[in-house]
């Protein structure tokens, strides 16, 4: 947004005074004061600043903060307490009231939202007060701060899943004696299953091998994935640790010779999905718009888009990725060992880090692929995998 303090008509009025051989400063000043509505111009500047500041945080973060602040405001309103500015005692009581209803991480995020709201309004944040700090310390000691992590989906599980998804894409033959109507219905049902299986296999394998967050996965466009001799190049335009949108590349190398790719090959899976996608739309693969979504919703009838939005170029959502992962885990047919509820979109990224650590890949190479900005967070996966490497209990003779 561009805000001009001096409009074209104002400049036209100033030209005579400015073009004089000896400009009269007072004449210029008088013309400005007469023609410029400073209050309106400053108002537009304030609006411009407000619009600019909305980009200071990621949209997802803004939505989370707005939701958290709304929850705090509703609670203070119900108890007839001021929310902005809030007293430290109010914030401490809010923590106490919800300590058994929310996870520690959720409450700490609400404190961040409260702090941001106060500082943005020019108030000192009550979260800096000693009373609130002590309440947070007590909360951490009482309930702990370990995040509720989703289970990691590793190569052994993905191999079974992708093999079964690949089996779903095999040609379907009508049963003997079927009527033409039944055979047609079965053929359309199979075509829908094939399209969905190709998408799901490509999504799972690209998300796993590139160690993508679900927001990064759904943010991919067709043009962001480029097949090269060495493998598949993936451009991540924006991520959680790249709020300025500088972008980054990761590579997915061939795990087998290109002519012997298996059902778990991300490059083969991506190629087969884009071919199926192009056929469904009715265009050639090379004509797929580079700025269109890499992964798209598919209705239960096998049509691209959603029942509410039949746009074939609609983008898959993060919630859909979580559902696809859960449905994939169900293909393992072992709910006791692999309960689907424990898996979500993050299981792919966590699985990459866990599998790589178990294979002895150095930390710096793992972090290069995961793009973790925190060594402590990356080490969380490494330690979970490392606990079984040369474990001394195997030598106890038990």
The enclosing domain of 90 has a CATH number of 1.10.150.130
To the question of pTM greater than 0.75 for the whole model, the response is no
- The pLDDT assigned to 1 comes to 44
HSE of 108 in the Cβ direction (CA atoms, 13 Å)?
A: 14
- The pLDDT assigned to 45 comes to 56
Q: In CATH, what number is assigned to the domain containing residue 180?
A: 1.10.443.10
Query: Based on the domain organization, do 115 and 223 belong to the same domain?
Result: no
Query: Based on the domain organization, do 125 and 195 belong to the same domain?
Result: no
Asked if residue 122 is part of any domain, the answer here is yes
Contact indicator for 41, 5 with CB cutoff of 8 Å: yes
Query: Based on the domain organization, do 335 and 239 belong to the same domain?
Result: yes
| Structure token digits, residue 6 | 């001096």
Beta pairing, strands 248-253 & 231-236: antiparallel
Query: Based on the domain organization, do 67 and 46 belong to the same domain?
Result: no
Asked if residue 169 is part of any domain, the answer here is yes
Asked if residue 393 is part of any domain, the answer here is no
- The pLDDT assigned to 31 comes to 52
Expressed as residue numbers, the domain containing 41 is 8-53
Query: Based on the domain organization, do 175 and 200 belong to the same domain?
Result: yes
- The pLDDT assigned to 256 comes to 76
Asked if residue 391 is part of any domain, the answer here is no
- The pLDDT assigned to 337 comes to 92
- The pLDDT assigned to 149 comes to 67
For the chain, the domain total comes to 3
C-alpha to C-alpha distance for 163 and 359, rounded to whole angstroms: 22
pLDDT tens, position by position, for the chain (398 residues)? 444 544 555 445 545 544 555 555 555 455 545 554 545 555 565 555 555 545 555 566 777 788 888 899 999 999 999 888 889 899 889 888 888 888 777 888 888 888 888 888 888 888 889 988 888 888 777 766 555 567 889 999 999 999 999 999 888 777 777 787 887 788 888 889 999 999 999 999 999 999 999 999 999 999 999 999 889 999 998 777 666 667 889 999 988 776 667 889 999 999 999 999 999 999 999 999 999 999 999 998 889 988 888 888 999 988 999 999 999 999 999 999 999 999 999 899 989 988 988 888 888 888 889 888 778 777 777 666 666 666 777 777 77
Asked if residue 92 is part of any domain, the answer here is yes
- The pLDDT assigned to 2 comes to 46
Query: Based on the domain organization, do 124 and 230 belong to the same domain?
Result: no
Q: What is the DSSP letter of 129?
A: S
Residue 269: other Cβ atoms inside 10 A: 26
Asked if residue 32 is part of any domain, the answer here is yes
- The pLDDT assigned to 12 comes to 52
Query: Based on the domain organization, do 228 and 304 belong to the same domain?
Result: yes
Query: Based on the domain organization, do 237 and 369 belong to the same domain?
Result: yes
- The pLDDT assigned to 207 comes to 95
Query: Based on the domain organization, do 177 and 227 belong to the same domain?
Result: yes
C-alpha to C-alpha distance for 319 and 203, rounded to whole angstroms: 14
- The pLDDT assigned to 7 comes to 52
Q: CA angle, 264 as apex, 258 and 270 as ends, to 5°?
A: 70
pLDDT, tens digit, for every residue of 89-146?
Answer: 998 898 888 888 887 778 888 888 888 888 888 888 888 899 888 888 887 777 665 5
Q: At what angle do helices 266-281 and 180-209 cross, to 10 degrees?
A: 140
Query: Based on the domain organization, do 250 and 215 belong to the same domain?
Result: yes
Query: Based on the domain organization, do 121 and 208 belong to the same domain?
Result: no
pLDDT, tens digit, for every residue of 211-243?
Answer: 999 999 999 999 999 999 889 999 998 777 666
- The pLDDT assigned to 14 comes to 47
Please return the burial class of 374, using the count of CB atoms within 10 Å of its CB with bins 0-12, 13-18 and 19+.
Answer: exposed
């Amino acid at each position: 947004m561009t805000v001009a303090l001096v409009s074209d008509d104002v400049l036209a009025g100033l030209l005579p005074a400015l073009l004089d051989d000896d400009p009269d400063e007072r004449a210029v000043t008088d013309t400005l004061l007469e023609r410029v509505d400073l209050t309106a111009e400053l108002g537009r500047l304030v609006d411009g600043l407000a619009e600019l500041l909305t980009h200071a945080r990621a949209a997802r973060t803004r939505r989370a903060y707005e939701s958290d602040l709304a929850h705090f405001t509703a609670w203070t309103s119900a108890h007839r307490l001021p929310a902005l500015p809030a007293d430290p005692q109010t914030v401490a009581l809010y923590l106490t009231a919800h300590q058994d209803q929310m996870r520690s991480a959720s409450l700490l995020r609400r404190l961040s939202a409260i702090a941001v709201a106060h500082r943005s309004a020019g108030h000192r944040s009550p979260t800096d007060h000693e009373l609130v700090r002590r309440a947070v310390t007590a909360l951490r000691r009482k309930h702990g701060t370990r995040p509720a992590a989703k289970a990691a989906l590793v190569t052994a599980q993905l191999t079974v899943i992708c093999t079964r998804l690949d089996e779903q894409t095999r040609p379907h033959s009508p049963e003997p004696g079927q009527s033409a109507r039944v055979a047609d219905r079965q053929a359309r049902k199979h075509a829908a299953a094939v399209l969905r299986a190709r998408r799901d296999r490509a999504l799972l394998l690209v998300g796993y091998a590139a160690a993508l967050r679900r927001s990064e996965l759904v943010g991919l466009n067709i043009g962001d994935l480029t097949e090269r001799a060495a493998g598949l190049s993936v451009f991540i335009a924006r991520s959680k640790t790249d709020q300025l949108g500088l972008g980054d590349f990761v590579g997915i190398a061939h795990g087998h010779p290109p002519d012997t790719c298996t059902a778990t090959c991300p490059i083969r899976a991506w190629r087969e999905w884009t071919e199926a996608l192009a056929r469904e739309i009715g265009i050639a693969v090379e004509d797929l718009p580079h700025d269109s979504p890499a992964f798209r919703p598919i209705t239960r009838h096998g049509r691209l888009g959603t029942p509410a939005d039949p746009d074939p170029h609609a983008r898959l959502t993060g919630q859909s990725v979580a559902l696809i992962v859960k449905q994939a885990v169900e293909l393992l047919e072992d709910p006791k060992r692999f309960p689907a509820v424990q898996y979500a979109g993050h299981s792919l990224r966590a699985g990459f880090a866990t599998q790589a650590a178990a294979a002895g890949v150095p930390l710096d190479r793992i972090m290069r692929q995961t793009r973790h900005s925190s060594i402590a967070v990356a080490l969380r996966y490494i330690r979970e995998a490392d606990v079984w490497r040369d474990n001394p209990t195997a030598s106890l003779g038990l």
